[in-house]
Amino acid sequence: MSEQARVVAVTGATGFVGRHVVRALLGRGLEVRCLVRDREKAAGLVPAPGSEAEGEGTVRWVLGSVSDREAMADLAGGADAFVHSIGIRREFRPEVTFAKAHPGATRAALEAAGNAGARRFVHVSALGTRPDANTGYHRSKYEAETLVRGSGLDWTILRPSIIHGPDGEFMQMVKGWVLGRSAPWFFIPYFARVDVEPGFPPQPPRLESAEVQPVSVGDVAECVARCLERRESVGEVYALTGPERYDWPTMLRTVRDAMPMTDRSKRVLPIPGRLGEMKAKAAEAIGMGAALPFGPSEPVMAIEDSVAATTKAEAHLGMEFEDFAESLERYASEI
């Protein structure tokens, strides 16, 4: 680890990605500052101060939120580097919005890092982020990236595809479907594109799956740590994906078949993505949005391909990304 990064501040430390980042940094002997909103929630998710094994780094909790300037100043004070991993998949307006969680939180993190003299900044974004995206999620992520690029800090941006791991929200959601504990109970759903072929006589529309390259949370955390070690990562944007492409039915069947005591005959069936979007918008309009397990952006994102080459991450960071099926086989019993 370079001498510029011995103390690292981490936002989103109790989140899925953040807690794995914390462990990856501690394993390298660093001092890690964790922004923690709730001590009870943090217990068991991130190592507590004084609980590290011999030879590992040290951890300090800073109680507060990203909107708390005093807490952010405490978090960044004396830090050499800053890892920003806060993000949400859906909104619960008016309190929880993409604008607050993405550009808003990023602005606060950049301000704290800059004021404290923490030159190094690693930002966890998302694959598919672009200014003309079809969803507020990706547009707000791009706005956050724009702030990072213009910050004057030594930044790196990571764009992972779907991130998987036994303790992640995605795997827990699929587990609920596989075991019949969550709606729709009797089948495993995915959102699909509606493909209409021109011609006469008219043909019935086909439901077509997007392609994804799920990446393990361990690989994402390892990339964060390696970015802090390697100067060539400064000013770079890295796509992070697994090595294999899957359509949604194949990926979901792979999860279904890997889990112990599961019904391998349970079918994987498509739902039109635009129908899901309309349903979510209608539910929000009547104040029932929280009753659905998804918001308007998620069905739209699910019908877009989430694939990319990882050539640059492999060359600059020396990464070898783990295949989804192999990784899943290793941790399926822990989901």
Number of residues in the chain: 335
Beta-carbon count within 10 A of 141 CB: 28
**Cβ–Cβ under 8 Å, residues 303 and 224:** no
In the prediction, which pLDDT does 52 show?
Answer: 56
Distance CA 289, CA 82 (A): 34
Phi/psi at 147 (nearest 5 deg)? -65, -40
Q: Which residue has the tokens 């992640």?
A: 168
Domain ranges (residues) in the chain = 7-162+214-241+307-322, 169-210+247-302
Kindly report the CATH number that applies to the domain delimited by 7-162+214-241+307-322: 3.40.50.720
In the prediction, which pLDDT does 57 show?
Answer: 86
Q: List the chain pLDDT tens, one digit each, 335 residues.
A: 444 569 999 999 999 999 999 999 999 999 999 999 988 888 888 888 876 554 578 999 999 999 999 999 999 999 999 999 999 999 998 899 999 999 999 999 999 999 999 999 999 999 999 999 999 999 999 999 999 999 999 999 999 999 999 999 999 999 999 999 998 999 999 999 998 777 677 767 889 999 999 999 999 999 999 999 999 999 999 999 999 999 999 999 999 999 987 888 999 999 999 999 999 999 999 998 888 889 999 999 999 999 999 999 999 999 999 999 999 999 999 99
Distance CA 33, CA 267 (A): 45
Residue 196, CA distances (Å) to 217, 219, 278 in order = 36, 38, 19
In the prediction, which pLDDT does 2 show?
Answer: 45
> 248-258 and 169-178 are packed helices; what angle lies between their axes, rounded to 10 degrees?
70
What is the token pair recorded at 209?
Answer: 């799956």
CB within 8 Å of 111: residues ≥ 6 apart: 72
Distance, CA of 118 to chain centre: 24
In the prediction, which pLDDT does 54 show?
Answer: 45
Residue 217, CA distances (Å) to 9, 104, 234, 242, 321 in order = 19, 24, 22, 11, 11
CB within 8 Å of 56: residues ≥ 6 apart: 26, 27, 29
Strand residues in the chain grouped as ranges (E):
7-11, 31-36, 58-63, 81-84, 120-124, 154-160, 163-164, 188-195, 206-208, 211-212, 215-216, 236-240, 246-247, 268-272
In the prediction, which pLDDT does 4 show?
Answer: 56
In the prediction, which pLDDT does 125 show?
Answer: 98
**Residue 323: how many CA atoms within 13 Å on its side-chain side?**
7
Strand order in the sheet with 206-208: 206-208, 188-195, 268-272
C-alpha dihedral, 77 to 118 to 142 to 280, nearest 10°: -20
**Residue 134: how many CA atoms within 13 Å on its side-chain side?**
13
The DSSP output letter for 48 is: P
SS3 198: coil
In the prediction, which pLDDT does 176 show?
Answer: 93
In the prediction, which pLDDT does 224 show?
Answer: 98
In the prediction, which pLDDT does 55 show?
Answer: 54
- What is the pTM (predicted TM-score) of this model? 0.94
47: phi > 0 → left, psi -120 to 50 → alpha, else beta; which? Answer: beta
Beta-carbon count within 10 A of 93 CB: 11
